[in-house]
Amino acid sequence: MAAQETVEHKYVYDFAEGNKDLKDLLGGKGANLAEMTNLGLPVPPGFTITTEACKAYLTTGREPDGLAGQIEAHLESLEREMGRKLGDPDDPLLVSVRSGAKFSMPGMMETVLNVGLNDRSVVGLSAQAGGNDRFAWDSYRRLIQMFGKTVCDVPGEEFEHAIDDAKRAKGTDNDLDLDADDLRGLVDSFKKIFAKHTGREFPQEPREQLDLAIRAVFDSWNAERAVVYRRQERIPADLGTAVNVVAMVFGNLGPDSGTGVAFTRDPASGAQGIYGDYLANAQGEDVVAGIRNTVPLEELQRIDKKSYDELLGYMARLEEHYKDLCDIEFTIERGKLWMLQTRVGKRTAAAAFVIAGQLVDEGLIDLDEALHRVNGAQLAQLMFPRFKLDHEFEPVAKGIGASPGAAVGKVVFTSARAVELAAEGEPVILVRRETNPDDLNGMIAAKGILTSRGGKTSHAAVVARGMGKTCVSGADQLDVNIPAKKFTVAGQTVNEGDVVSIDGTTGKVYLGEVPVMPSEVVQYFEGTLDPEQTDDPLVRAVHRIMTHADATRRLRVRTNADTGPDAARARRFGAEGIGLCRTEHMFLGDRRELVERLILAGTDAEREEALAALLPLQREDFIEIFREMDGLPVTIRLIDPPLHEFLPPLEQLAVNVAVAQERGEDVAKEEALLAAVRRMHEENPMLGLRGVRLGLVIPGLFAMQVRAIAEAAVTVVRAGGSACPEIMVPLVGAVQELETVRAEAEKIIAEVVGDSGVEVLIGTMIEVPRAALTAGQIAEAAQFFSFGTNDLTQMGWGFSRDDVEGAFFWRYLELGIFGISPFESIDREGVGRLVRIAAEEGRAARPGLKLGVCGEHGGDPDSVHFFHEVGLDYVSCSPFRVPVARLEAGRAAVTTTGSDSR
Ligand code: PEP
Ligand code: MG
């Protein structure tokens, strides 16, 4: 019998074996090092241990079988290539051990440099470096320090204190004044610290150092800060990290050595040119630590022209190859340039658009690809006003940019004061240590929110984003004293009433009023900035990409608008109709009194009188909207909220009645109102007498609205315009509800439209789970469905939409139950499944059934991709989100992977 051959799983790849598309397996850094190696760029030799090895280690707690042998084999070939052996006493090979996950997680995981140094090879390293003892001992102390801290959890401060002691003994405060002897002494101290904390000597065996360092990088995938970062950035927790083992090259060997970073274009504006920093005689970590000042990259031309020219050549090569902005880390070791890292570089929202446009011009990418390279979140960011910052304005603090925008106002420290001042027309910034649900009214009243504690998922951040309000959270330089109504920062005291400016995009806080600039992108959408005439590269790029998105998308984009001006603005922003006109907003203000009459009507005649008074007002509302939307579909929803929402609150009425009685005034009307409010009180109004239920129990209410809609349409058409009304019934859960409303509506419509040619569609919202599950039946009676994903989420999850985000979502986000509020981005698996079922069953029953969505999710980038996938005809969103939805609908049509431009 032939021996069964077992094929060993491959866990280690030489750089020459990988490529840039293997990010899942080799991580971003490893895949790109492999790509550069294969392009023939000077990458120090090395190998990558795969994410699969990491995952196997994290699951079982030990290195998978075969890994040790594969590392050995790759190490040997690395040694052959370099002509040196790891830790050789006379001529040592040293390696760096670096993490590298699929998505960049800057600073979240571990790195150990100079692996291979020990008491003997430190002497060999000095000889290698031309007798540079100082360099060799400095490298050794760096190894013990990094290894101790990251591999063995030795407290970092102990090493820092030892360095401080050495400097004090020398009478200096500059690290560079420590000479070789001082550093040798420091190595002794470091070894003692190491032994004290670990109970063992610092490992002298190079291979043991390597294995422990690799293990520490694996473990760092689950370090707390990495876990928190992943949750925030929505990076899946099960990807694992790869580990790169790379031959060390040194930028700190003298003036002909150095290290730097470079960008192939400006990552802030997208402008072409040479951008980067260089630091002579230094290692990468010195640049990051900011110990010494870097010089602009152009200076390298003067310092080392040969390396500079070579670098520029590689930069051009990488751009052409990656067809995108690349960022690069490099080191020069005694006049020899080494490429240590490249990746497609992060950029600002503006740069993303500008660069995508440039790359199309340069013929490197096509418009589909350009569309894929930008996203709706970036576009939304560009639509916020920004601060006009010149040199006069220096931030006094920097927190977390928790909810974008630029807000200026007077500082207040309590919710009550915020409400008071805002009522007087003053813009206010609510400053708290952290907010809680009691601050809600103040947050609503304020222009912006500033807290000294809490991250991107703190209460303040989550609630502010939900409201679209500017928020800076966790500005911990602020010492906030609520009882004293002041905070101190950078040695200054800010009292209640003083003006501050906060930037919710950058997290920066300024004292005084910083002027705010409108967004040029909004001016373009508004039609006041002509993209053909301007030389603003951003506006030109946005125009070009939006034009392509519109030409590409399958989803139509409508707007949620209840007034003529909103409808007009949305139309300028590209809305192709109204997907939701909420008629209840038309019953507020001075019309409240008519609604009160309707509610209090004791007889049919009184009720009919109130409805008759409302009819012409409603008709005028609809005429205005039809005119603005001339020729485009307008979905008007019949009244939805419980009627008691239009009455004054119970407490207020009770007080009014009591006071008036005390004064002997006539309180008949207030008493009647109070009785009505008591009678109509509901424990769960969102599940009570609302939506279609109102139409079924209050005679004439829906009929009045239907008549107003039909009459308005006829008026507009007879005046030469065009009106396409679609009447939508809210909160339907059973087909019988819809059938009843429809029968009455059709009679009225037939009577009103006569031969005017007006056609009125009748459809329903799908926002109750039962409606989604019986969509096949409901479709028999509906000419269209519009998904009300706000209520569908509320009832699908059982989350009160008005309460939960502020009350406990921060905890759900912290626990990772969801990565984002399901009210913000559709829960694909649960609520999304209801949408999918209803779409499929609705269309099966009525082929061609028109499907749309009008919940808040209609303007959310990720949700737009979902609605595209499910096959809806349109999304509808608030006017300001219309451009975002247009862009994402275009992106959805050219990609199948969702909005993944991370
Ligand atoms: C919805 O429920 O998604 C919806 C659009 O209706 P409203 O938000 O008015 O309840
Ligand atoms: Mg609803």
Beta bridge partner(s), residue 764: 729, 785
Strand partners, 558: 876
Which ligand approaches the C-alpha of residue 560 most closely? 1
> What does the pLDDT read at residue 899?
37
Report CA(777)–ligand 2 centroid distance (Å): 20
> How many Å apart are CA 266 and CA 415, to the nearest integer?
42
Q: Which ligand gives the minimal distance to the CA of 790?
A: 1
The DSSP-derived string for 803-817 is: THHHHTHHHHHHHTS
Q: Cβ contacts of residue 570 below 8 Å, gap of 6+?
A: 559, 561, 578, 879, 882
pLDDT given at position 5 = 53
- Tokens 């952290």 label which residue? 434
Whole-angstrom Cα distance, residue 592 to residue 742? 27
CA angle centred on 27, ends 24 and 31, rounded to 5°: 95
CB of 405 sitting under 6 A from ligand 1: no
Atom of ligand 1 at shortest range from CA of 794 = 2
Question: Comparing C-alpha atoms, which of 692, 710, 783 is closest to residue 748?
Answer: 710
Q: Find the ligand nearest to 859 CA.
A: 1
Instruction: Report the C-alpha gap between 464 and 429 in whole angstroms.
Output: 12
pLDDT value at residue 457? 59
Residue nearest to atom 1 of ligand 1 (CA): 788
Cα 152 from chain centroid?
Answer: 35
Residue nearest to atom 3 of ligand 1 (CA): 788
CA atoms within 13 A on the CB side of 489: 23
Cβ–ligand 1 distance for 858 under 6 Å, the answer no
* 54, 74, 326, 459: the active-site residue: 459
Expressed in angstroms and rounded, the spacing between residue 530 Cα and the centre of ligand 1 is: 36
Residue in 693, 732, 767 to alter for ligand 1 test, most ligand atoms within 8 A of Cβ: 767
Question: Is 459 annotated as catalytic?
Answer: yes
DSSP 8-state symbol, 324? S
Check if 54 is active-site.
no
Among protein residues, the one whose CA lies closest to atom 4 of ligand 1: 788
pLDDT on residue 348:
84
Exposure b/e, 529-565, CB count within 10 A at least 16 = b: beeeeeebbbbbbbbbbbebbeebbebbbbbbbbebe
791 in contact with ligand 1, CB cutoff 6 A: yes
pLDDT at 467: 66
Q: 0.85 cut: is pTM over it?
A: no
Catalytic hit among 54, 471, 724, 854:
854
Q: Report, as ranges of residue numbers, the positions in the chain whose pLDDT lies below 50.
A: 1-3, 896-902
pLDDT of residue 505: 86
User: Three-state DSSP class for 634?
Assistant: strand
Q: Is 457 in the pocket of ligand 1 (CB under 6 A)?
A: no
Q: Between β-strands 241-247 and 46-49, what pairing exists: parallel, antiparallel or unpaired?
A: antiparallel
Neighbours of 282 (CB within 10 A): 21
Q: What is the pLDDT of residue 57?
A: 97
Pocket flag, ligand 1, residue 790 (CB < 6 Å): yes
**Residue 367 identity:** L
- The sign of the CA dihedral 399, 400, 402, 408 is positive
pLDDT of 898: 37
pLDDT one-digit tens code per residue, 119-148:
999 999 999 998 999 999 999 999 999 999
